[in-house]
Amino acid sequence: MTDPYDSADGLVRVYPAGATTAGTAGTTPALVWAHGGGFVAGDLDMPEADWVARSFAARGVTVVSIDYRLAGGGCRYPDPSDDVLAAWRWTSAHAGHLGIDPARIVAGGASAGGNLTAGAVLRALDGAAPVPAGVFLAYPILLAVQPAPDAALRAMLDANPAADRFGPARVRAMYEDFLGGPVDDAPLPAVPGRATPEDVAGYPPVLMVNGEADELRVSGEAFAATLVAAGVPVMLVTEPGTEHGHLNRPDEPAASATVDRAVRWIDDLDRERVAPRRPEGARGARPGGQRLV
């Protein structure tokens, strides 16, 4: 179903979880999801929105997909971020009607939607909206000044000439379109990769899945390192054999693998809510190149 929410012109599309997968109390976890598109493109019908939402719903997670305003034509930051926060508030307020456990609402986004999600969490920590139980970021764009890839990633990019390129000039131009001004004047939630450990104190647990041959992986890994330094639990994954945007290509096996991974992670969040906490400083590892901190 598609419902209006408390935003200038936006809609949310709700994908209820399968009835047989609800929890013992009859409620389900939820993912409030923001598609990508470089801040200026994308919609609720693109695979990264619709296919992703249907895939999570089929696995027992109710999805609220956000039709946020796109940059351009007078729309600039914070308008899309305001829409994301409004959708979070709407989901929390309607949790009972939607059959959602309000304590199990996860925020997520891909690419530019990952930026909006990561930045909106910083705003939520200041009281702008309920803080989600967890954050799922898929190949997010997080820095306006894109760091150079290391030699291994550069070699991988050179070996994949058809892969999308996100060099410094392109990334800066994307941000300037989003901001409507110089990147140096951007507020922190618009460029969350600039955050310090102090800025992310209290940030909820994060699952970040990056593309392997993706220049944006550098900024994602930098943000993950900042979260770890602040003591935030982070699972950082490089999905093997992928380029940027694999959730928008459902025919690639990695797309389903990422969804499966995210659903398991959401389930783990539920278990950790009721399990004894690990001693401070304890670390665990997961197979397949994953790191849990």
pLDDT digits (tens, 9 = 90+) for 132-146: 999 999 999 999 988
- How many CA atoms are closer than 13 Å to the CA of 167, on its beta-carbon side? 6
pLDDT tens figures, 196-248: 999 999 999 999 999 999 999 999 999 999 999 999 999 999 999 999 999 99
DSSP state of 116: H
Residue 24 — very low, low, confident or very high, per pLDDT cuts 50/70/90?
very low
Question: Does 290 score more than 60 pLDDT?
Answer: no
Report how far residue 90's alpha carbon sits from residue 101's, in angstroms, rounded to the nearest whole number: 14
Strands 284-285 and 291-292: antiparallel
Tokens 């849990």 -> residue: 292
Q: 111 an active-site residue?
A: yes
User: What letters, b where the CB count within 10 A reaches 16 and e where it falls short, cover 136-147?
Assistant: bbbbbbbbbebe
Which among 214, 219, 246, 268 is annotated as catalytic? 214
Tokens, residue 30: 């939820």
Q: How confident is the prediction for the chain on average, in pLDDT? A: 89
The residue from 79, 83, 244, 246 that is catalytic is 244
The whole model's pTM is what? 0.90
The verdict on whether 246 is a catalytic residue reads no
Domains contained in the chain, number: 1
**In whole angstroms, how large is the CA radius of gyration of the chain?**
18
Alpha helix locations (H) across the chain?
A: 50-58, 79-93, 95-98, 112-125, 151-158, 168-179, 217-229, 253-274
Give the residue among 59, 55, 49, 64 at the shortest CA–CA distance from 15. Answer: 64
Average pLDDT over every residue of 38-54: 98
The domain that contains 114 carries what CATH number?
3.40.50.1820
Give the active site residue among 111, 219, 246, 268: 111
Report the C-alpha dihedral over residues 152, 154, 155, 160, rounded to 10 degrees: 130
**Does residue 244 carry a catalytic annotation?**
yes
| Amino acid of residue 251 | D
Range of the domain at 215: 2-292
CB 191 within 8 A of CB 174: no
pLDDT in tens, 47-104: 999 999 999 999 999 999 999 999 999 999 999 999 999 999 999 999 999 999 999 9
